[in-house]
Amino acid sequence: MKATIFFILLTAVTRSRGQYHYQGLMNYLENRMLAMEERIALWQEQNNRYSSDLKEFRQQAADLLGKLGKEHDKLRSDMEGAGARVDRVEREMDYIETKNPPKPCVKAADKMVEQDVVVKDGKKEEFFELSVCLNIVSSLKAMKILKRLGSPKGVWTKDARSAKVYVFNGTSDNTLYEFNSVRELSASSGVSKGKQITVPTAWNGTGHAVYDGFLYYVSESSELQVIKYDLKNGLVADSAVLPMDDRSPVYQLNPETLVDLVADEDGLWALYPAGDTINLAKMDIDSLDIEQMWDTACPRNNAEAAFIVCGTVYVVYNTKPPSRSRVQCVFDVNDMVSSGEAPLIYFPRRYGAHSSLKYNPEERQLYAWDDGYQILYKLVLKKKLWAIMPPPEE
Count of other CB atoms within 10 angstroms of residue 227: 22
pLDDT at position 105 is: 36
Distance CA 115, CA 94 (A): 22
**Beta bridge partners of residue 332, listed in sequence order:** 312
How big is the CA angle at 296 (ends 290 and 300), to the nearest 5 degrees? 105
Q: Examine residue 104 and say whether the peptide bond preceding it is cis (omega within 30 degrees of 0).
A: no
Distance CA 365, CA 182 (A): 13
> Cβ contacts of residue 319 below 8 Å, gap of 6+?
302
Q: What is the pLDDT of residues 214-240, one digit of tens each?
A: 999 999 877 789 999 999 999 999 999
Helices and strands, counts by H and E, the chain:
3, 20
What's the predicted TM-score (pTM) here?
0.67
Q: How far is CA 332 from CA 295, 304, 335, 386, in A?
A: 11, 19, 5, 12
> Cβ contacts of residue 116 below 8 Å, gap of 6+?
109, 163, 181
Express as a percent the part of the chain with pLDDT over 90.
Answer: 39
Q: What is the pLDDT of residues 291-343, one digit of tens each?
A: 999 999 999 999 999 999 988 999 999 877 777 888 989 999 988 876 566 77
Count of other CB atoms within 10 angstroms of residue 299: 16
> Cβ contacts of residue 243 below 8 Å, gap of 6+?
290
pLDDT reading at 113 higher than 80: no
More confident residue, 248 or 6: 248
Q: Return the minimum-mean-pLDDT range out of 121-130, 135-144, 323-332.
A: 121-130
